Structure 1
């Protein structure tokens, strides 16, 4: 694809092209009902996730004219309750000298009663060399956004390449700070910190010091915060080598937990790197603190460099549901925010004893639903659920108690994404009983295991007629309690 095509602005498209794209999207059978998704084109990283003027504001990377990674805009959507979302439209247009080739990822913070949006402006010179700037745009109470002409940071510090992006800002008692994802000149990943007392003059402080050594070739979308007295550093390292069940996706997202970051030395005393999500489609998470003091995370439900079945319908990707983060036994857990209960409609409850069989129940089926299913008194080798099932299709979530492993199998889930690196994702879990909490949309599934101890997030693309739900045990019995809710349309 030539550069002119890839870096077109929306205004360069004809009305006929926009109409054709919109019609193509509207004909797609895999449009979501309660996930944030693009009106057309490609969505990727969530940006600027924040609470301002009584509402949750969420921006995301958006290329409107295709399903490839072209000229990136910021698109704006907002919600009063994290359940129902309303599109506000384009927030940042990349057409100035400091963001001429894309408004890349960033974050937001409220200052002086205005929402300050910090992002990376991507530029290219005549020889196609990249030069990043860290830019600022300010949104007022009426929702008007004013881009600032002068960048906050106009150069990359010595020792790093021009892969230098994704500022995540926060405020300490003494300073504003942001962390940026970086690549060292030796082509290894890192994250660096800047600080400012006035939000105008930003000083480079150095690199966050971890014990990871050479850990991938680039760290994207870094996010540092403190939770329950611990320092938590989330980032998305690129270039990790798969290790058994770990690091199976093309790019990973995970976290370190330890003591709070030393603001003077930038030393982070931490434990092992843990993946945030065990599924196929999760990347570039971003967190925020709301007015209730909760740390809430949303991520891109997708992966770069992977073709999806919706591509041929003129759109790609969506965002995850909002999840509250907590720490349990030194581990970061994720739980769906309770506001999502507002989406619940008709419910059905089933209790049964299942023994070495597959069971279905009258009225328990669907394509868009929430379900909580608990298996107790487990005397079976394995238990599990099959969703979006028919004679030809099924998605299987299985707990192998004998081998202590959770597996998501989408080998028969319908149309598959290209480059998925097999159709199974697994992780180790040792539990006497098992609880599955599912959010199933038209073309996705998010599975929360044991109240967020593990999470599997994946796109699936079955036919509309694949709506059976099955429950099973293998080599033994278990008691099953299940509640299922139909869910309402929640996005524009």
Structure 2
């Protein structure tokens, strides 16, 4: 048995030992994607290929800790029913022995091609990084093709997370990077054959206008066209909090601009945080055959009390967000739940209007829609969302799972609060504000016995709620004891 197969079998065995504990945890999600065991983080290789959506993920199967990452793999035909596929990549070669780090996927020449970062550390814990490729003809089994890009001059070995796309006749790649001066940046590369890559320069960095000292490392870049503009999505590290901005340990957001492919210059506006909640990082987008730009993010933040979450003792940690459609409206990216999410609904449990206050009992896997001039919403006595009509400030509060102290995240809504759409899933909530103008994504470890929803408006409210499916993810395969 070669090293790749050996690691796969070790991972499958580890999951089988842990699977019953993981799936019986009341905090394990009903319809979000989570690891079969161990730790999940960044979404990788997010793509629709030959009509099938593929979402790969950073995965540590042996422990709820970071380490030499694998690529796990989910697939779906409809974005609501998902199947856990065989392991895509293992850290089995010299160029990725300390982890198959994040990357992207493209479809070309009837192949599904993965680009990822091979992480290597020597005995002195010094890092090397390589941009690597693996290919598949069936979308399930992958053959590594080795290193395609080595570290250019001017960067530290913190050089990772390649995102690849095609523009006209050529292929392009952005990579999250740290310069020798230890500032965050995005490197830009070009190829006409996906084999030989030419480094074109830095598209943006921590001191490029309008940025100033904007972080020591930029991770998980993504560059795409939306609404006639070029959008640079990235996750900077090393930014101090500033009022209601940048309150998580690390951020994820975007800058709107214009990329000149000929000169390799990207002029852009300021950074905007993409999500206002407690847990959101490393998002990645793809374009599907309906022309939608769809984003998935990791519902977690590195180095932010992640190992104090109560699921650690049950053998699993973290999950993904729901897929969201992006639209550029009046200079702001709106994030909108996909139309397909309606297929998750099973039973309508609430349909009320004409009252200023509403109290109801809801399932721990629910969708809730609230319309009207909303003042306050409390969920399971664990989370409170409150809007101040005078300051236009919307604030989410919860008890910290690290120490129980109240913590807050906020955003400004200049035009007021008139709509909330919540997707609640056992230990998480995604709150879409004003049809996607803002989003709060957060874990929510409420007591099991509490099921109360309370809403209060400045005027009368309308509330609708549905129970959502509990069988959206099929994990009965190589990973499962039921396999």
Q: TM-score, normalised by structure 2?
A: 0.92
Q: 1:465 Cα deviation (Å)?
A: 1.2
In structure 2, the residue matched to 1:466 is: 450
In structure 1, the residue matched to 2:106 is: 109
In structure 2, the residue matched to 1:3 is: none
Instruction: Point out where structure 1 has 5 or more consecutive residues left out of the alignment.
Output: 1-7, 377-381
- Partner residue of 1:186 out of 158, 178, 181: 181
In structure 1, the residue matched to 2:478 is: none
- C-alpha contact (below 8 Å) 2:382/2:444 kept by paired residues: no
- C-alpha contact (below 8 Å) 2:397/2:406 kept by paired residues: no
Instruction: Point out where structure 2 has 5 or more consecutive residues left out of the alignment.
Output: 1-5, 475-483
- Partner residue of 1:92 out of 70, 89, 92: 89
CA distance in 2 between counterparts of 1:359 and 1:141 reads 51
- Partner residue of 1:196 out of 191, 197, 213: 191
Q: Give 4+ residue runs of structure 1 displaced > 6 Å after superposition.
A: none
CA distance in 2 between counterparts of 1:87 and 1:50 reads 15
Q: 1:172 Cα deviation (Å)?
A: 0.5
CA distance in 2 between counterparts of 1:30 and 1:243 reads 33
Q: 1:11 Cα deviation (Å)?
A: 4.8
Residues 25-424 of structure 1: pairs in structure 2 closer than 5 A: 25-141=22-138, 143-149=140-146, 151-153=147-149, 155-209=150-204, 210-211=208-209, 212-258=211-257, 260-305=258-303, 306=305, 307=307, 308-347=309-348, 348-354=350-356, 358-361=357-360, 364-376=361-373, 383-388=375-380, 393-411=381-399, 416-418=400-402, 423-424=407-408
Deviations 1:3-45 (A, max 9, x none): xxxxx95655795x65543343234220000100000000000
- C-alpha contact (below 8 Å) 2:57/2:72 kept by paired residues: yes
- C-alpha contact (below 8 Å) 1:138/1:147 kept by paired residues: yes
Q: 1:125 Cα deviation (Å)?
A: 2.1
CA distance in 2 between counterparts of 1:40 and 1:417 reads 21
CA distance in 1 between counterparts of 2:34 and 2:163 reads 23
In structure 2, the residue matched to 1:448 is: 432
- C-alpha contact (below 8 Å) 1:283/1:300 kept by paired residues: yes
Q: TM-score, normalised by structure 1?
A: 0.90
CA distance in 2 between counterparts of 1:13 and 1:135 reads 22
CA distance in 1 between counterparts of 2:11 and 2:139 reads 29
CA distance in 2 between counterparts of 1:59 and 1:404 reads 39
Q: 1:417 Cα deviation (Å)?
A: 3.1
CA distance in 1 between counterparts of 2:19 and 2:216 reads 38
Deviations 1:66-113 (A, max 9, x none): 111011000010011111111102100110011111000000011001
Q: How many residues are treated as equivalent by the alignment?
A: 460
State the SS of the aligned residue for 1:386.
Answer: strand
CA distance in 1 between counterparts of 2:75 and 2:405 reads 35
State the SS of the aligned residue for 1:193.
Answer: strand
Q: 1:421 Cα deviation (Å)?
A: 8.9
